[in-house]
Structure 1
Amino acid sequence: MKMIKVGVAGFGVIGQRLADGVASQKDMELVGVADVSPTLSVRALKEKGLPYALYTAVPENKKLFDELGIPVSGTLEELVQKCDVILDATSAGVGAKNKELYAKYNKKAIFQGGEKNNVADVFFHGYANYEKGIGKQFLKLTSCNTTGLIRAVDCIDREVGVEKVAITIIRRVADPGDYHRGLTNALQVDKAPSHQALDLMTIMPHVDATGILVHTPVTHGHIITVLATPKKDISKEQLLEMFSKHPRIRVVKLADGFLGNASLFRYARDLGNPRGDMYEIAVFEESIVKSGKDIMFAINIPQEAVVIPENIDAIRAAMEMQTDRLEGVAETNKYLGMGKWME
């Protein structure tokens, strides 16, 4: 079995989780990670024994690592040359600049949701359009909210078809540990339609989607309410059966104590998941209601980790490790331990 060599550019919220995700894949090798300076994440990596080789994205910053006794294996450019594919988890806009480096060495790269769509050959989602990513050089992932939203809508669409969806996103304002948004006591409404609805239509052009987004002063996850119009009338029980079969969707009950985003974050920590991460979205069973043919439900989006499985899918598609959609996502799920709650 040929091991696909993978590098991660950017070792922040997403990058460190991508590194862990790749390291768990038995058919991939994590060559190393790169960052611009000795951030807290990099310092923690050193304190953990530096399980991943570290590269500097800014060569002149090597002295900053040296001063702290953090070994550096080389530059980002050197890391790129050693890899088959790079997962770019740098800040929005930086990935587009890094693309020139990836193209220089004819390497494949996968960008995150913060980059503009024109950075890539295809706007990618593992379940919804895996086939479009097969063999492509540059792929771009959807944002955390869009990733989870598409999982749920695609699940219904493949069973009975979906005509349209209307969504409301109750969006966490910042990640845990961030200070740049300030201390707030307010809700903020964005101009409609939200980009997540537009992005869904880019991935699933046959579905009419619109949506509203509300920023909330919390950090642990988003909640999305979805009002879907399926092409075939379905009951609540049928929808629950669809979701319950999906290894990246966890059905939870308010009656069991899953009252919202904080309950799920706490549960992830109780499970012993590193950083309290959850790869799956959660559907609140008691939120499912019918209105004529329409059906409504609410999902939880764990924003720090939800995109990791789709990034792994993107590697599989771009490198043609699996050319069948279900085979590709199944391999990712297996190594990430997805769907264990279904056993």
Structure 2
Amino acid sequence: MVKVLVVGYGVIGQRLADGVALQKDMELVGVVDAAVTLSTRSLKEKGMPYKLYAAFPEAKEKFEAAGIPVSGLLTDVLNDVDIVLDATTGGVGAKNKALYAQHGKKAIFQGGEKNEVADVFFHGYANYEKGLGADFLKLTSCNTTGLIRAVDCLDRKVGIEKVAITIVRRVADPGDYHRGLTNALQVDKAPSHQALDLMTIMPHVDATGILVHTPVTHGHFITVVATPKKDISAEEVIAAFKEHDRIRVVRLEDGFLGNASIFKYARDLGRPRGDLYEICVWEDTVVKSGKDVMFGIHIPQESVTIPESIDGIRAALEMQTDRLEAVETTNKYLGLGAWK
């Protein structure tokens, strides 16, 4: 049984812990955090389903003062694990890397870290093989993760020559206040990093894109214009997406009118926190323009990277050397594809 530690129990860390706990061939040893937050307070109120370790002695004192049980320090538990999922704030993971290396532990970092922190910039479907046996992996961002899922799906069907994307980016996660209250759209300089990141993972695809920040919280929206190497009909594109266990095909006529509809549906399904691991593609947006194919994607930003993070564990520890066997195992334990 592979032993996993999650460092950073925030938006992503909570979801990583839950995702790992569902894997029948992995053991979640515990979670690590550095501050008394709503996340760690809720951990206590839920009866401490996961052991909590403090990032450093001062943090341990603060947890104990708040009545939150602590099982020890990060340095105490590192010797008991095989791999670390680092979900700390951007920049902290890079500092933690030296500690992981000192203890001889592999680690997987989230999209907020710079690429230089890792040996491999990783995506479970698109370049699983490159992560095999690696000591340090870095995940793509939420938008890039979902974008690559869709582009890789079509690329393996007919080959993709190039893509152009427009991202309508949610400005903050639900519950965040640090970005303030706004009534504006903010445009970033093109090309967006998501397009550049896609080319790092899939260098044979030419990609560019525009990003617009918008004052919503429940998900990003991406339009994709893809140029296939072989002609493919809109119906064939939809069929390809429906085969993919991390892609849901939804329709306007069924009530999926936008990001809020999808978030509501996830809550109605009883998904914890209203999370979806899957991206959603609107069937109604899949159209042809000459040879090009256009479609629209919903990205559930808080949870979309969890499956690929678990794929990273499988690759780094060589639990499965075959890409499809690895992702299918992750999918099975997360319940992905069960709706089909």
> Shared fold (TM-score greater than 0.5)?
yes
Question: 1:97 offset after TM fit, Å?
Answer: 0.2
Q: Which amino acid aligns with 1:110?
A: I
Does 1:208 pair with 2:203?
A: no
With structure 2 as the length reference, what TM-score do the two structures score? Answer: 0.99
Match of 1:196 in 2: 194
Match of 2:254 in 1: 256
Q: Which contiguous aligned blocks of 4+ residues in structure 1 show a shift greater than 4 angstroms?
A: none
Match of 1:246 in 2: 244
Counterparts of 1:1-343 in structure 2, within 5 Å, are 3-342=1-340
Q: Which amino acid aligns with 2:85?
A: L
Between stretches 315-324 and 58-67, larger displacement belongs to 58-67
2: CA distance between counterparts of 1:227 and 1:60? Answer: 51
Over residues 72-105 of structure 1, what are the superposed CA-to-partner deviations in whole Å (9 max), with x where a residue is unaligned? 1111112222110000000000000000000001
2: CA distance between counterparts of 1:177 and 1:63? Answer: 26
SS in 2 for 1:313: helix
2: CA distance between counterparts of 1:24 and 1:265? Answer: 22
SS in 2 for 1:147: helix
Q: Report the aligned-residue RMSD.
A: 0.5
In structure 1, the gaps of 5 or more residues are: none
2: CA distance between counterparts of 1:242 and 1:330? Answer: 16
2: CA distance between counterparts of 1:96 and 1:137? Answer: 14
Q: Which amino acid aligns with 1:150?
A: I
1: CA distance between counterparts of 2:123 and 2:151? Answer: 12
1: CA distance between counterparts of 2:77 and 2:231? Answer: 52
Question: 1:64 offset after TM fit, Å?
Answer: 1.3
SS in 2 for 1:38: coil
2: CA distance between counterparts of 1:215 and 1:79? Answer: 40
Question: 1:63 offset after TM fit, Å?
Answer: 1.8
2: CA distance between counterparts of 1:57 and 1:114? Answer: 19
Identity percentage of aligned residues = 76
1: CA distance between counterparts of 2:211 and 2:243? Answer: 29
In structure 2, the gaps of 5 or more residues are: none
Q: Which amino acid aligns with 2:187?
A: V
Between stretches 65-74 and 243-252, larger displacement belongs to 65-74
2: CA distance between counterparts of 1:115 and 1:63? Answer: 28
SS in 2 for 1:298: strand
| Aligned pairs, number | 340
Question: 1:119 offset after TM fit, Å?
Answer: 0.3
Q: Which amino acid aligns with 2:90?
A: A
Question: 1:340 offset after TM fit, Å?
Answer: 1.3
Question: 1:61 offset after TM fit, Å?
Answer: 2.1
2: CA distance between counterparts of 1:326 and 1:226? Answer: 25
Q: Which amino acid aligns with 2:57?
A: P
SS in 1 for 2:126: helix
2: CA distance between counterparts of 1:80 and 1:263? Answer: 42
SS in 2 for 1:228: strand
2: CA distance between counterparts of 1:64 and 1:37? Answer: 7
2: CA distance between counterparts of 1:131 and 1:78? Answer: 32
1: CA distance between counterparts of 2:289 and 2:6? Answer: 45
2: CA distance between counterparts of 1:61 and 1:300? Answer: 37
2: CA distance between counterparts of 1:202 and 1:119? Answer: 15
Between stretches 252-261 and 54-63, larger displacement belongs to 54-63
Q: Which amino acid aligns with 1:303?
A: Q
